[in-house]
Amino acid sequence: MRRRRRRLRGPRPESVPVLVGRACALVGIVDIAAGVFPRFRHSRMHALAEVLPGALGPFAAALSLSVGVLLLLLAHGLKRGKRRAWRAAVALLPAGAIAQFTYRHSLIGLIISLALLAALVRHRDQFASLPDPRSRWRALANFVLMGAGSLALGLVVVSAHPHSLIGDPSLADRITHVLYGLFGFEGPVAYQGTTSWTVGASLGALGLLTAVTTIYLALRPEHPAARLTEDDEIRLRALLERHGGRDSLGHFALRRDKAVVFSPSGKAAVTYRVVSGVMLASGDPIGDVEAWPGAIERFMDEARAHSWTPAVMGCSETGGEVWTRETGLDALELGDEAVVDVADFSLTGRAMRNVRQMVKRIERAGYETRVRRVRDLGEAELDRIRRAADDWRGTDSERGFSMALGRIGDPADGDCLVATAHKADAQPGPYGDLKAILHFVPWGTDGVSLDLMRRDRSADPGMNELLIVAALQAAPKFGIARVSLNFAMFRSALARGEKIGAGPVLRAWRGLLMFLSRWFQIESLYRFNAKFQPRWEPRFVVYRASGDLPRIGLAALQAEGFLNLGRALPRPLRRQKATARPCAHAVTERDVRAA
């Protein structure tokens, strides 16, 4: 796998927020251990644990547990320099210091709390990051996660005193005792001496933390994720009209679940979505290349203001060079985009034999194709195509982010191309004789980029090949000279790894990709694209540091729809997906010309 990197800055020193966050996490873990395990409280580590925030005399177990959990919850926000986490820590540490001095008369505990507080106050300017997008569903998510964590930690608390247990309670009795204890009631498990009070106080503290954090998240003001406004869309369409031919992914910037930042001159823009704290852009910046640095600077300023991790998925080689030059980020080749030049495409020749035979076989089976602009379709047929595309989708949620528009038939997208397959003599279904759909978005004035492929599962195999060939053959009458097909991730590794002479590392890497293809269609997409003899255009991921790549990968999987954490929530409380605006408010071509 080819790897291109450019680093304009040296390694970043550990910042104060990162150090404070790690310290809080470490203290939290020690406090939880001190609160849960009685042997730990009487071990050699007791001298350290008792002076940390949370070890407060007779309330040591409950308060160690409570403060430890709170510090762990705050640690991530402190590492990201979040202002709200800083405020919570500043409020918590004085309370811990006062408790240390009041209950235990511990001067060392008081000094540790005040020292950490002094560090936070002194470096308060480094904790200025704005909040992330949030909504009410996070309250339920917190209740589920905190509840599960409290139940698991509660079982540890109940079982951490084997020498004080009376009898041999079953697992069901222990779970019942934990559930009762979270609500402040005595359960069926009995202990000798004061252990029962210690366990009850610890369980009650866990239940109180779960309730308080859930109530706080439910009542705090919402900070919704940014969306593409109508004015933003008009400005983007104007930029695409002038510069849209440069990048095949340009039209996908018009997804309405993205936000946008413009350069100071307004001649360039970067669209993005925030996913799990990652500010994820896709493709190249939109607009004049000379104005890209201004838009990239605005993007990085926004990332710094919110302490988001900046990343770009699927930018071109030119885009990667500009991003790395202007920001000091690194670039790693992610895969290749398949582009077919219409003038060079032909079904003749040995290389196209399989595609040619498949298309001929399907045509003999009675299928016919139609390729039209969206503006030329009637509303009834458009509605049928939309419903069919929804019904034939193989997943619960729409997939795609960097190479998907997320809508079909919007009045503002009249230049989009729709290829459909029909079989007149087939038994009529809910969508008439419609059997397969391909949707392409504009790529400047002389190109299109594949958006989605959908087919009736009862149709004959080869529908996608049939429609791609039909679109390529019909392209000249629409003035289309180039067609961008699917993106093939890690194509070069797959291609080189199967050749004779490939080394063991490359073969192992290819083997891993083949294994992952069972879920992510890595190898099958490469094979499918290669059928049409395209030219391959490399695409890159741009990132800040190697340690960010796992987080960026997770965010990309969420954005592309392969991983949907919100599906675990009840349907009414899931984050709502952005939908196309009503036709009365859709951006029209007249609006673009006016801009």
**Per-residue pLDDT reduced to its tens digit, 354-397:** 999 999 999 998 899 999 999 999 899 999 999 998 888 765 55
Structural domain contains residue 376: yes
What digits encode the pLDDT tens for the residues 306-326?
888 899 999 999 999 999 999
State the Cα–Cα distance between residues 109 and 67, nearest whole angstrom: 14
Please list, in sequence order, all residues whose beta carbon lies within 8 angstroms of the beta carbon of residue 256, skipping any fewer than 6 positions away: 227, 228, 233, 406, 407, 578, 579, 580, 581
422 with 523, same domain?
Answer: no
- Tokens representing 49? 């644990």
| Proportion of the chain above pLDDT 70, given as a percent | 77
- The 10 Å CB-count burial string (b at 16+, else e) for 73-101 is bbbebbbbbbeebbebbeebbeebbebbb
Range of lowest pLDDT (319-328, 414-423, 493-502, 548-557) = 493-502
Structural domain contains residue 574: no
Range of the domain at 32: 13-42+54-219
Q: Among the three residues 194, 219, 244, which one is the final residue of a domain in this structure?
A: 219
Residue 135 has pLDDT above 80, yes or no: no
Please list, in sequence order, all residues whose beta carbon lies within 8 angstroms of the beta carbon of residue 589, skipping any fewer than 6 positions away: 412, 414
Structural domain contains residue 510: yes
State the Cα–Cα distance between residues 147 and 191, nearest whole angstrom: 24
Binned at pLDDT 50, 70 and 90, residue 101 comes out as: low
307 with 326, same domain?
Answer: yes
More confident residue, 243 or 216: 243
Instruction: Kindly report the average pLDDT of the chain as a whole number.
Output: 79
Structural domain contains residue 24: yes
Predicted local confidence at residue 1, as pLDDT = 37
Structural domain contains residue 106: yes
What digits encode the pLDDT tens for the residues 175-224?
888 888 888 788 888 887 767 777 887 788 888 888 877 777 776 655 55
259 with 391, same domain?
Answer: no
Whether 75 contacts 24, CB under 8 Å = yes
90 with 157, same domain?
Answer: yes
Please report which residue ranges of 80-194 form alpha helices under DSSP H.
Answer: 83-99, 107-122, 137-159, 171-182
Choose from 27-31, 315-319, 576-580 the range with maximum mean pLDDT. 315-319
375 with 252, same domain?
Answer: no
What digits encode the pLDDT tens for the residues 113-128?
777 778 888 887 777 7
75 with 181, same domain?
Answer: yes
156 with 100, same domain?
Answer: yes
412 with 385, same domain?
Answer: yes
465 with 332, same domain?
Answer: no
Whether 214 contacts 142, CB under 8 Å = yes
More confident residue, 394 or 10: 394
Range of lowest pLDDT (91-100, 288-297, 457-466) = 91-100
Structural domain contains residue 5: no
What digits encode the pLDDT tens for the residues 432-487?
889 999 999 999 999 999 998 898 888 888 899 999 999 999 999 999 999 999 88
Nearest to 72 by CA among 15, 130, 33, 112: 33
What's the mean pLDDT in 506-520? 78
Q: Among the three residues 219, 245, 269, which one is the final residue of a domain in this structure?
A: 219
27 with 101, same domain?
Answer: yes
Q: Among the three residues 161, 194, 219, which one is the final residue of a domain in this structure?
A: 219
Predicted local confidence at residue 179, as pLDDT = 86
77 with 212, same domain?
Answer: yes
Domain count, the chain: 3
Number of DSSP helices (H) and strands (E) in the chain, helices first: 20, 12
What's the mean pLDDT in 16-40? 69
371 with 251, same domain?
Answer: no
pTM above 0.85, yes or no: no
Helix/strand/coil for 11: coil
Whether 336 contacts 381, CB under 8 Å = no
Binned at pLDDT 50, 70 and 90, residue 136 comes out as: low
**Sign of torsion, CA 296 302 308 314?**
negative
Predicted local confidence at residue 225, as pLDDT = 64
Structural domain contains residue 1: no
